[in-house]
């Protein structure tokens, strides 16, 4: 994957039979999405060209309309444009509406469609790749920002017993949970929200089966203040971030005795859902995830 990170977008004019897609962000040179979607295209035989596109910070909508007007079929959206992508869409999927952000867009019937595949990517990684079924489980979500918002509806649809949202600012967690009360009632899921400091009051008997770090703490090299007794044996600690080395949260969770997993599988699974939206074909993710994992391990060994 190092070659993917260092490569430049292919600027050659594609053949008419090849459909064009891009991942748009700013910055974008680090994105692994072109390698992932190239692997999906080879695997499925779909005629797809997928590149990176860096949009100016003040011209996202104009840039993407120009791309679509020039024959582009769809695109992925990463930071900092997911909220602007939500506003750009003519039609939104229910999970995009719930997340308030969009990471996948395409043209259909002359309209721009928007979806958010992050949450379903998380769920599929946990349930299919890590073999942890979420039904009747107790889930702790750390953070109440965009990543957590995108995960909530797909998590609720798995029918866990309880979802606890803990955020540095307790009111932000409460506000977010309020957005999902109706969905939680529909799936008989108990919701609770509070500050990170409230986790100290949870006993070992009240600990959750799955702890998901959806905060930006790993990007900042900070460990969320989760008490050790909430991360013991039998708990899956999941960080949406990933890298060549375990994140600081995962290193801490492992010392506490928890099973750990990073967000690389989520990255691949959300890409597979985007590919399905675009092509109507669902690629196999296991070989692509294994390829990416091997590349990360090679980077770590350097």
Question: Whole domain around residue 293: which residue ranges?
Answer: 2-116+266-301
Q: What is the CATH number of the domain that holds 68?
A: 3.40.50.10860
Give buried/exposed letters for 264-282 (b at 16+ CB in 10 A, else e): bbbbbbbbbbbbebbbeee
2-21: average pLDDT: 55
Whether 173 and 110 share a structural domain: no
30-38: average pLDDT: 95
* 12 is known to lie in a ligand binding site: no
Domain boundary among 262, 277, 293: 262
Whether 109 and 20 share a structural domain: yes
pLDDT of residue 9: 42
pLDDT digits (tens, 9 = 90+) for 203-232: 888 889 999 999 999 888 999 999 999 999
* 282 is known to lie in a ligand binding site: no
pLDDT of residue 16: 59
Say yes or no to pLDDT of 13 above 50.
no
Whether 49 and 73 share a structural domain: yes
Report pTM. 0.92
Q: What is the CATH number of the domain that holds 136?
A: 3.40.50.720
CB under 8 Å to 199, separation ≥6 — which residues?
140, 166, 225, 226, 227, 230
Looking at every residue in the chain, the average pLDDT score rounds to: 93
Say yes or no to pLDDT of 301 above 90.
no
Q: Is 137 a catalytic residue?
A: no
pLDDT of residue 299: 80
Whether 65 and 193 share a structural domain: no
pLDDT of residue 5: 37
98-122: average pLDDT: 97
Say yes or no to pLDDT of 59 above 60.
yes
* 103 is known to lie in a ligand binding site: yes
Whether 29 and 99 share a structural domain: yes
Query: What is the number of structural domains in the chain?
Result: 2
* 170 is known to lie in a ligand binding site: yes
Whether 53 and 145 share a structural domain: no
pLDDT digits (tens, 9 = 90+) for 239-298: 999 988 999 999 999 999 999 999 999 999 999 999 999 999 999 999 999 999 998 888
Whether 82 and 63 share a structural domain: yes
Whether 110 and 176 share a structural domain: no
Whether 124 and 255 share a structural domain: yes
Whether 280 and 227 share a structural domain: no
Whether 71 and 142 share a structural domain: no
Catalytic hit among 82, 113, 138, 279: 82
Whether 230 and 295 share a structural domain: no
pLDDT of residue 165: 97
Task: Label the pairing between strands 111-115 and 104-108.
Answer: antiparallel
Q: What is the chain's alpha carbon radius of gyration, rounded to the nearest angstrom?
A: 19
How sure is the predictor about 38, in pLDDT bands with cuts at 50, 70 and 90?
very high
């Amino acid at each position: 994957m190092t070659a993917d990170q260092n490569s430049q977008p292919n600027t050659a004019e594609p053949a008419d039979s090849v459909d064009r897609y891009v991942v748009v962000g700013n910055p974008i040179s680090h994105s692994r999405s072109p390698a992932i979607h190239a692997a999906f295209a080879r695997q499925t035989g779909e005629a797809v060209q997928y590149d990176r596109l860096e949009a100016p910070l003040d011209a996202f909508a104009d840039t993407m309309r120009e791309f679509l007007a020039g024959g582009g079929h769809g695109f992925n959206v990463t930071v900092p444009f997911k909220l602007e992508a939500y506003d750009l869409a003519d039609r939104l999927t229910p999970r995009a509406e719930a997340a308030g952000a969009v990471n996948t867009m395409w043209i259909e019937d002359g309209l721009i469609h928007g979806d958010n595949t992050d949450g379903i990517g998380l769920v599929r990684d946990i349930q299919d790749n890590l073999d942890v079924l979420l039904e009747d489980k107790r889930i702790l979500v750390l953070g109440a920002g965009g990543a957590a918002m995108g995960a909530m509806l797909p998590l609720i649809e798995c029918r866990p017993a309880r979802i606890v949202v803990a955020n540095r600012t307790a009111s932000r967690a409460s506000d977010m949970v309020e957005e999902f009360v109706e969905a939680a009632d529909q799936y008989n899921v108990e919701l609770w929200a509070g500050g990170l400091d409230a986790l100290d009051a949870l006993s070992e008997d009240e600990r959750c089966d799955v702890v998901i770090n959806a905060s930006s703490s790993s990007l900042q090299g900070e460990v969320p203040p989760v008490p050790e007794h909430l991360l013991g044996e039998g708990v899956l600690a999941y960080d949406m971030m990933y890298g060549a080395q375990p994140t600081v949260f995962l290193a801490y969770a492992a010392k506490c005795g928890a099973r750990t997993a990073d967000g690389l599988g989520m990255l691949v699974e959300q890409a597979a859902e985007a590919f399905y939206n675009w092509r109507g074909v669902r690629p196999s993710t296991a070989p692509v995830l294994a390829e990416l994992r091997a590349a990360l391990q090679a980077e770590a060994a350097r």
